[in-house]
Amino acid sequence: MRKCYLPILLLLFLLFYSSLSFAEEAVLDDENCSMCHKYPGLSRVNDEGYLRLSYINSHKYAQSLHTRVKCTGCHTDIKKIPHEDAKKVDCSTECHIEHPETGEKFSHKNISKILKKSIHDPKNPNVNKAIEEDFPECIDCHSNPLYLSITEDFQKLHGSRSADEILRKCDACHEKKAFYSYFFNHVASRARYLFPAEKVVETCIKCHSKPEMVEKHELKNAGATYLDTFHGKAVKFNFDNAPTCVDCHVKDNSSAHMILSHENSDSAVYKGNRYKTCRDDRCHPSAPKNMGGIRMHVSIDRNMYPAEFYTALGFSALTLGVFVPLMLLLLLELIREMFPNLKIRKDK
């Protein structure tokens, strides 16, 4: 009889552990969406034949930028559980979070207005062969990143003090720790770039180095040509203040979403504005006007850049014309050193 107690105790322990896990999920999700979406294997094949993973890691989501946004704040079409296929999320939808300045419901409508003026809008007049499905959406560039680890950064600035020690000072005036700790993380994460320079470049070249996109929209391979420059190599080797795509294509103090065509006179890379962009305090503060005439995205293409193409062709021919005869002479000299009595023809 005693042997029967062990399986029963084990079963009770598993039930108790699972109840604690469910309770933790319920605390993070008062809409009870995690009742189904907490299972890692939750997935299905949609009508287009793609496998869609519906698993949500609640622990990571609780540390993400959207942790205070309810599921139905974005998925507004879901009214019941179980639900049908969720519709495409519109990031300009107003969510339940109130804006701290106005007290109104928060939304990304201002960002949507900016994007409509940018080169990434399919209706932009400077776009060739505008195909709407090829243009980036919010989630193509933005995921739901976790908050940066600010403890290490503050230890660098304040010695041995940790972020928790600094947060204790807020207790003097603020009673709700959940609010000011969230606000502190939110602001501190934006005190510097959310992503390092190489991540910014990787995000841009996902489209701008894609062969079918380059061919369809008659674009240069901006990613490859950028990585060939000093700027690209500086990012690759993690140099401080290495300029990314955004640093050059967005005017100072402007939204990163306001990327305009190089033909637009308001663009940071317009031929008359390039030297001003180079004059950033972090880059070349004394850049002359003629510095803006340097081409940064030059591809060796005969039709697009004939002068550069034939110059590169001439240098290649010159290099081979010198290198090949030199190597031949070195080879003949090596043979003579190894076989001093070797003769091609006999003496008369």
Residue 120 CB coordination number (10 Å): 20
Confidence of residue 331 (pLDDT cuts 50, 70, 90): very high
pLDDT at 78 over 60: yes
Beta bridge partners of 51: 45
* pLDDT: which is higher, 75 or 143: 75
303, pLDDT greater than 70: yes
Residues 228, 271 contacting (CB under 8 angstroms): no
pLDDT in tens, 319-329: 999 999 999 99
Q: pLDDT for 117-156, tens place per residue?
A: 898 888 877 666 557 778 888 888 887 766 555 555 555 5
pLDDT at 38 over 90: no
Tell which residue, 166, 154, 117, 112, has the closest CA to residue 137: 112
Torsion of CA 121, 125, 126, 130, to 10 degrees: 60
Question: What's the confidence (pLDDT) of residue 299?
Answer: 77
Weakest mean pLDDT among 26-30, 64-68, 297-301: 26-30
CA distances from 229 to 223, 232, 294, 346 (A): 10, 5, 12, 57
Q: So where are the chain's domains?
A: 307-348
**Beta-bridge mates of residue 98:** 105
The pLDDT tens digits of the residues spanning 192-250 come to 555 678 888 988 988 888 888 888 777 778 888 898 888 999 998 888 788 899 989 99
Asked if pLDDT for residue 21 goes beyond 50, the answer is no
Per-residue model confidence as pLDDT tens digits over 145-185: 665 555 555 555 555 555 666 677 777 777 777 777 767 76
Higher pLDDT, 270 or 107: 270
Residue with tokens 């998925």: 75
**24: pLDDT confidence band, cut at 50, 70 and 90?**
very low
